[in-house]
Amino acid sequence: MLPFASLTSSRQLTPDIISGLFVAIDNMATIVAEQGTSTLLQDKVVALLFFEPSSRTMLSFQSAAQRLKAGTIFAQSASTTSFEKGESLEDLIQIVNGYADIIVMRHSQPGSAEVAAQVSDAPFINAGDGGNEHPTQSIIDSYTIHKHRGRLDNLNVVFGFDSLQSRSIHSLSRLLAQYEGNRFTFTGPQELWPSSELLSELRAAGAQCDCVSEVDYRDNFDVVYVNRLQEERFADTTLFEANRRKYRITRDNIEGCDALLLDPLPRIDEIATEVDALENAVYFKQASYGVPVRMALLALLLGKINL
């Protein structure tokens, strides 16, 4: 059980809940390593509604469900559902409530997760609502930081390079802002710095926030978290074209930096492949944690395990 029926925002993920979740995630990782599968969710059906492109999130939710022996049903794009016929999200969610025990949804509209969670009788998980939030990714990210750095407080974190539109950056910064002593440096083109609303929210939660056009990665950072420029969310494509390869982690600029290097992926231009061999480049490992994280979430929200 979790103290909420649905997960729509990382604001819900308090340090207490995160600590409990990490134990559940470790237990799921042990199940995968030792047995491969468990019958914990054999009486459950998981609906996976993906109305925006997804590789990691969709596949790891599917893998998580299968490792726990849950059934899965899919709707993969708006064009294969009644959305094309004009059906509302509220109606669709009520229909899916009759078909599944839990709903996972990715949707292009910011705020759609909240709307869906409100009407859903079944537990609901936000797998990304436009440029707003991606709370399950923030669990993966914080789990990775904790596993490799041993703490989630007093961290000096760089976020780049599209903090305005990256839902992964929004969710992780909101999660980390709940811990003591965290300091965030947002970098990238000025037009893609976080919104003033997000900055105010993070500062109000206690995080120190700075925005800069460039950083020297050798400056005492604990974590460097980068995400591609979110091409599909640019109203002005010239802004995207002007910046797409300008901000990039390379061997040259990362040499001597021992910060943990994270990226929710997909990698487009933001990290050169030559960086992959570095010991602190853990983004592929980070992606692999998606399965135990999502196993734990499904089991908790379906009431099969406790925090």
Which amino acids are annotated catalytic? 56-57, 85, 106, 134
97 vs 109, which CB is nearer to ligand NCD?
109
- Residue 56 beta carbon to ligand NCD: minimum distance, rounded to whole angstroms: 4
- Residue 98 beta carbon to ligand NCD: minimum distance, rounded to whole angstroms: 28
107 vs 167, which CB is nearer to ligand NCD?
167
Task: Convert 152-196 into a string of H (helix), E (strand) and C (coil).
Answer: CCCCEEEEECCCCCCHHHHHHHHHHCCCCCCEEEEECCHHHCCCH
40 vs 64, which CB is nearer to ligand NCD?
64
> Which amino acid, one-letter code, is at 75?
A
3-state helix vs strand vs coil in the chain, percent to 5: 45, 15, 40
Q: How far apart are CA 219 and CA 211, in angstroms?
A: 15
Torsion of CA 297, 299, 303, 305, to 10 degrees: -100
| Residue 243 to residues 87, 191, 248, 264, 265, Cα–Cα distance (Å) | 38, 10, 10, 20, 18
162 Cβ contact partners less than 8 Å away, ≥ 6 residues apart: 169, 188, 192, 227, 228, 229, 230
Strand ranges (DSSP E) for the chain?
45-50, 71-75, 102-107, 124-129, 156-160, 183-187, 208-212, 223-226, 260-262
- Residue 306 beta carbon to ligand NCD: minimum distance, rounded to whole angstroms: 27
Q: Which residues bind ligand NCD (CB under 6 A)?
A: 56-57, 128, 134, 137, 167-168, 227-228, 264-265
6 vs 137, which CB is nearer to ligand NCD?
137
10 Cβ contact partners less than 8 Å away, ≥ 6 residues apart: 133, 135, 138, 139, 170, 171, 172, 174, 175
Please give the structure tokens belonging to residue 119: 């009407």
Which residue's CB comes closest to ligand NCD? 264
| Most distant CA pair in the chain, distance | 55
- Residue 190 beta carbon to ligand NCD: minimum distance, rounded to whole angstroms: 20
- Residue 167 beta carbon to ligand NCD: minimum distance, rounded to whole angstroms: 5
Chain centre distance of CA 173: 11
177 vs 229, which CB is nearer to ligand NCD?
229
- Residue 155 beta carbon to ligand NCD: minimum distance, rounded to whole angstroms: 21
Rg (CA), the chain: 19
